Structure 1
Amino acid sequence: PHEDHIGSLDAIINHFDVDAVYMPKIMHTSKTFEDVLDAVANKGLKIKSPDPGDTIDFNGLEIEVLGPQREYKDFNNNSIVLKVNAGETAFLFTGDAEETAEKDILQADYDLQADVLKVGHHGSSTSSSQAFLQAVKPKYAVISVGVGNSYHHPEEEALQRLQSIGAEIYRTDLQGNIVCTTDGKNIAFNCNSVSGTEVYADAARNNTPAEEVVYIANKKSKKFHLESCASLPDEENRIYLEDREEAISLGYTPCGTCKP
C-alpha cells in the first residue's frame, strides 16, 4: 500500500474499465490508500486477495500468483508476486518482496524461471537474494527507481548479484520509460527517456541523494529516525518509511536524539 506503488491507482480505476482489483490482505491509514478504496467502492468493485498457487487468465496470458506465501508483519514482504507466462516467454513481478518472502517462495518449489525480472524493492540489497536469482535466471532485469533517490537504490550489492548471473540490467533512473514487448518468442526493449533523465543520469549513477526526508524505523525499539541520526539500528532491524505520517500511523514514535 505504499504511495510509490499505488499513488495513481485511483486514477487508473476511475478512468479505465476495470473488472477486478487484486490487493494483499493488509490495510493502511494513508490518504493515498483511502483514495484507492474510495475509487474501488465508487465503481462497485470488490477487492480480491489471491492465494499462492492461484492462476488468473487474462486475454490468453496465464498469470500465476506466487506470493505472498503467508502474512508478514511488514508491508514489503506482503507484496503480491506474479509470474506472467506469454507463449514461450515469462515475466516475474515481485513488488517490494524482500529476502524473507523470496525464501518462502523458493520453498514452495515453483518454476520461477523467467526471461524478465522486475527487480524487487527498486534494487534494494534486501531483495534479489543470490538463491532467488539463481532460480529465476533472468536474461533481463528491470529496476524501477527514482532519479537520485535518497534510499540510494539500486544498491551496489543487488547490482553485483544481478551482474553475476549475467542479467542485462535496465533502469528507469538512467533510461527513462522502459517498454518491454514480446510476441511469445522474442523480447524487445524500447527506452523512451523522460524529460530531465539525461540531465540527472550522472547523479543517479553516483547515487546522489535527492533533497527529501527519509525516515528509518527500528523494528525492535519501535522508534523512527532521520537518515542522519547517530542512533540508527542495524540494517536487519530497519524499515524505510516514506513520510512521518506513515511512521506514526504504524505505531512508531520519534527518536529523542534526532527528533524527526
Structure 2
Amino acid sequence: MYSNEISSPGRHQCLQYLKTLRKFQNDGLYTVYLGETHISENLITGDISYGVANPKSQSGGLTLIHAGGLRGWVPWQYRVFFQSQELWTSPKTTGANEEAFKELCQVLRKSYGKCTVVIRPKQWVTSPGLKHRNPTDDLSEIPPQEPEVIQNAPSLTIQMTNISCCPKIARCYGHELFCFPPSYPHLSPLESAWSSLKWAIINNRKDFTVTAFPKINDYKCIHLKALIENGIEGVTPYKWKTSFSRVKKWENHYLYSQA
C-alpha cells in the first residue's frame, strides 16, 4: 500500500516547490515542463529478446528532449540523440549547445510571454546511473517513492547547455527556471506524455516498417523519424489537459492536506 502523504525528508522541499510554482502562476507565468525520455531499441523494433537478456542495459535506443504545457507541446525544434550524438532536429540543426536552450527561451517568449520552465534536477548535465522507467508506466498516477538506481547504467547525453548558464539565459528572456522535487515525478505531466508517446510507438510501429528486400523477410526498415513524430502528435492538447488535471489534484492534496 502506498502512502499519499509527503514523506518527512522531502516534505519541506515539495511544499516549497508547490508554493513557489503557484506564486509564479498567479503572477501570470505560463508553466512549461522541459524533459527527456529514453526510447529503447527493443521498444522501436519490437524485439524483446535483447531486453530480456539485458534488462539493465540502456546502450541502445534514442533520447528525446521536448517540452510541453497546458496547451500542448511547445512549438520548438525538439532534439533526438542517439548514443551521445544528436540524430536529427526538427526541422534544422543548430550550432553550439547553448543555442538550443536560447532557442527554446525565444520560442516560449514569443508564444506564451514569460514562463516558468520546470525541469528535473541536473536535467542538462550527464547523469550516470539514472534509471529509466518502464515505458508502460504512467508515473502521473504513481504516488511518491524513492528513486532507484541501476549500477553501471550508461550516462545520458544531455549536454545542450551548462546548468550554471540555464537560469541566466532564462531570465534574459523573462523566464524562471525551476526544478521540481526529484522524488515526485508524478508532479510533472511530461511523465504521462512520455507514456502516451511510447504506447503510440508500440501500437503503430508496424505502420512505419517496411521490408527492405522482399525475399529476405527478417530484414526490415523502420521509418524512425516519422514514427517518433507520429507519437509526438498523438499526445494531443486534450491529453495534456487531462494529465495537468491529475497533476493539479496531487498538488492540491499536498498543499491543503498539510495546512
TM-score, length basis structure 2: 0.26
Query: Could you say which structure has the higher helix fraction?
Result: 2
- Greater RCO, 1 or 2 (C-alpha within 8 Å, sep 6+): 2
Query: Could you say which structure has the higher strand fraction?
Result: 1
TM-score, length basis structure 1: 0.25
